[in-house]
């Protein structure tokens, strides 16, 4: 289990009052978020440290996250879509905002109207942006995205060479960033990281000089050769692990707790939940808890008989999750918890310092990005550390 350094006081209930109707509460620690950005900023050396806000800031809320990062000194943000860019612009009028989707056909006025910078990933996008800039009589800003091996978005070498030979296109707009994206940055020892870095060096040299960016969260921790002029951390900001099979130095940002709806006595041999996949071996007390896969608690975290599954907490008491995760509920064995604590209306912490997002996703066979971005909107959100 990955943990932050040093002792941490971990409540299993919200620190601030929440509506009585709240069935599950997501607590976002903005103080920890700012501390994570500061740490990443220091690790990036001379490179600027940006912040990635796509997917509603990885499910945590774009507006409060953007404001917190700005208060710490972050000036550049990356979003996926134009709509996300508009939302970021509304809360951060002075920020530099790049749209990773690139330039959607015919949508040029939306980028220009909200001062958004498209990340141009193909020659047709470059031509469209250049034509729009000429028609407006303005050299507006954009990034150029080079593919160095991910084979997803990004300009292939053949198109890049054609662009390099077309000064009339490059002169029509301002190239404020040349970037690429690492395929295996979460595996520090993967030789593809260095192959992509060298290829990025070679390909960007074909273009006129401009600031460069290659590193995401994992790339930032690969060291100075990967930093260039700007780094783009995402998951590490939010407390997730940047490198597989290595300690996580980031502070925990997210806690998820949900209410017990009912506690029942279950006899040996009886099953729990859909599919009857979990049977109790001894007289047990089973709590039904108000969080499920509709709230982002992944169905892959279901536990069958004989399996070791996730563990929640009521106070200092661990409570094993048992049975199948359903849309609205999970179930936990609270036999070892005093009945006055494991009662209707009590809070159970299912994600936090003691069971991190990476602990859960390791069990589910996925990654922290997926779990965070799936956190449902019916989960009540609390933001701690809003004061600067």
> Where exactly are the structural domains of the chain?
30-231, 254-384
Is pLDDT of 117 > 50? yes
Looking at per-residue pLDDT, the higher value among 8 and 367 belongs to 367
Q: Which two tokens stand for residue 181?
A: 């994206």
**DSSP-based three-state secondary structure for 168:** helix
- Orientation of helix 123-136 relative to helix 157-164, angle to 10°: 30
Q: Which of 241, 268, 213, 238 is nearest to 3 (CA)?
A: 241
**DSSP-based three-state secondary structure for 24:** strand
For strand 284-289 and strand 278-279, is the pairing parallel, antiparallel, or unpaired? unpaired
User: DSSP string of 223-254?
Assistant: -GGGTTTEE---TTTTT--SSTTS---SPP-E
Is pLDDT of 275 > 80? yes
Q: Class for domain 30-231, per CATH?
A: alpha beta
User: What local confidence, expressed as pLDDT, does residue 386 receive?
Assistant: 80
User: What local confidence, expressed as pLDDT, does residue 233 receive?
Assistant: 97
Contacts of 124 (CB under 8 A, 6+ apart): none
Grade residue 302 by pLDDT with cuts at 50, 70 and 90. Answer: very high
Q: How far apart are CA 197 and CA 258, in angstroms?
A: 44
Cα distances (Å, whole numbers) of residue 55 to 144, 241, 248, 351, 370: 22, 18, 23, 20, 10
pLDDT (tens digit per residue) in 203-256: 999 999 999 999 999 999 999 999 999 999 999 999 999 998 888 999 999 999
User: What local confidence, expressed as pLDDT, does residue 66 receive?
Assistant: 97
Residues marked as catalytic = 54, 274
User: What local confidence, expressed as pLDDT, does residue 1 receive?
Assistant: 39
Q: Which of 240, 237, 217 is nearest to 33 (CA)?
A: 237
Give the phi and the psi of residue 41 in degrees, each rounded to 5.
-60, -40
Q: What's the start-to-end Cα distance of the chain, in Å? A: 31
Residue identified by tokens 């000064």 is 167
User: What local confidence, expressed as pLDDT, does residue 5 receive?
Assistant: 40
Contacts of 258 (CB under 8 A, 6+ apart): 23, 24, 25, 289, 290, 291, 295, 330, 347, 348, 350
> What would the mean pLDDT of 162-169 be, rounded to a whole number?
95
Asked whether 264 and 286 are in contact (CB, 8 A), the reply is yes
Element (H, E) at 158: helix 157-164
List the beta strands (DSSP E) in the chain: 24-29, 48-49, 51-52, 76-79, 96-99, 117-120, 141-145, 174-179, 212-213, 230-231, 254-266, 271-272, 278-279, 284-289, 311-314, 317-322, 330-333, 347-351, 380-384
Grade residue 62 by pLDDT with cuts at 50, 70 and 90. Answer: very high
pLDDT (tens digit per residue) in 312-344: 999 999 999 999 999 999 999 999 999 999 999
Q: Is 44 exposed, middle or buried (0-12, 13-18, 19+ CB in 10 A)?
A: buried
pLDDT (tens digit per residue) in 366-375: 999 999 999 9
- Fold matches, 30-231 and 254-384: no
User: What local confidence, expressed as pLDDT, does residue 246 receive?
Assistant: 87
User: What local confidence, expressed as pLDDT, does residue 12 receive?
Assistant: 56
Q: How far apart are CA 262 and CA 21, in angstroms?
A: 16
User: What local confidence, expressed as pLDDT, does residue 8 receive?
Assistant: 41
User: What local confidence, expressed as pLDDT, does residue 371 receive?
Assistant: 95
Element (H, E) at 89: helix 82-91
Measured torsion, CA atoms of residues 237, 240, 241, 242, in degrees rounded to the nearest 10: -40
Is pLDDT of 388 > 70? no
User: What local confidence, expressed as pLDDT, does residue 4 receive?
Assistant: 44
Is pLDDT of 10 > 50? no
The whole model's pTM is what?
0.93
User: What local confidence, expressed as pLDDT, does residue 387 receive?
Assistant: 63
CATH homologous superfamily for the domain 254-384: Lyase, Ornithine Decarboxylase; Chain A, domain 1 (2.40.37.10)
Q: Provide the mean pLDDT of the chain.
A: 94
Q: How far apart are CA 299 and CA 297, in angstroms?
A: 7
Q: Which of 140, 136, 75, 150 is nearest to 103 (CA)?
A: 140
Q: What percent of the chain is helix, strand and coil (3-state, nearest 5)? A: 30, 25, 45
Residue identified by tokens 């749209």 is 99
Q: What percent of the chain has pLDDT over 90?
A: 92
pLDDT (tens digit per residue) in 254-269: 999 999 999 999 999 9
């Amino acid at each position: 289990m990955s943990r932050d350094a040093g002792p941490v006081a971990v409540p299993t209930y919200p620190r601030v009052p929440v509506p009585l109707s709240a069935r599950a509460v997501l607590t976002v620690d903005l103080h920890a978020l700012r501390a994570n950005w500061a740490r990443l900023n220091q690790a990036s050396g001379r490179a600027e440290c940006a912040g990635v806000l796509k997917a509603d800031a990885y499910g945590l809320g774009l507006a409060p996250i953007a404001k917190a990062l700005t208060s710490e000194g972050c000036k550049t943000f990356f979003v996926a879509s134009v709509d996300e860019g508009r939302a970021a612009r509304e809360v951060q009028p002075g920020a530099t905002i790049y749209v990773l989707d690139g330039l959607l056909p015919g949508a040029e006025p939306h980028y220009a109207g909200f001062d958004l910078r498209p990340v141009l990933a193909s020659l047709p996008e470059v031509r469209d942006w250049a034509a729009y800039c000429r028609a407006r009589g303005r050299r507006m800003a954009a990034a150029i995205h080079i593919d160095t091996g991910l084979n997803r978005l990004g300009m292939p070498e053949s198109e890049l060479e054609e662009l390099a030979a077309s000064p009339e296109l490059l002169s029509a707009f301002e190239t404020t960033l040349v970037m690429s994206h690492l395929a295996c940055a979460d595996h520090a020892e993967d030789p593809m990281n260095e192959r992509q870095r060298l290829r990025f060096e070679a390909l960007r040299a074909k273009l006129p000089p401009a600031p460069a960016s290659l590193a995401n969260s994992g790339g930032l921790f690969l060291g100075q050769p990967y930093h260039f002029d700007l780094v783009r951390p995402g998951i590490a900001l939010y407390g997730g692990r940047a490198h597989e099979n290595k300690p996580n130095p980031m502070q925990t940002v997210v806690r998820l707790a949900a209410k017990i709806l009912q506690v029942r006595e279950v006899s040996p041999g009886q099953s729990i939940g859909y599919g009857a996949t979990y049977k109790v071996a001894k007289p047990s007390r089973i709590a039904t808890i108000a969080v499920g896969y509709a709230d982002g608690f992944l169905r892959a975290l279901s536990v069958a008989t004989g399996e070791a599954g996730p563990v929640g907490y009521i106070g200092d008491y661990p409570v094993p999750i048992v049975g199948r995760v359903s849309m609205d509920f999970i179930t936990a064995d609270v036999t070892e918890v005093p009945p006055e604590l494991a009662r209707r209306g009590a809070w159970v912490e299912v994600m936090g310092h003691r069971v991190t997002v990476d602990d859960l996703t390791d069990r589910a066979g996925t990654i922290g990005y997926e779990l965070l971005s799936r956190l449902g909107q019916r989960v009540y959100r609390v933001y701690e550390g809003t004061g600067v």
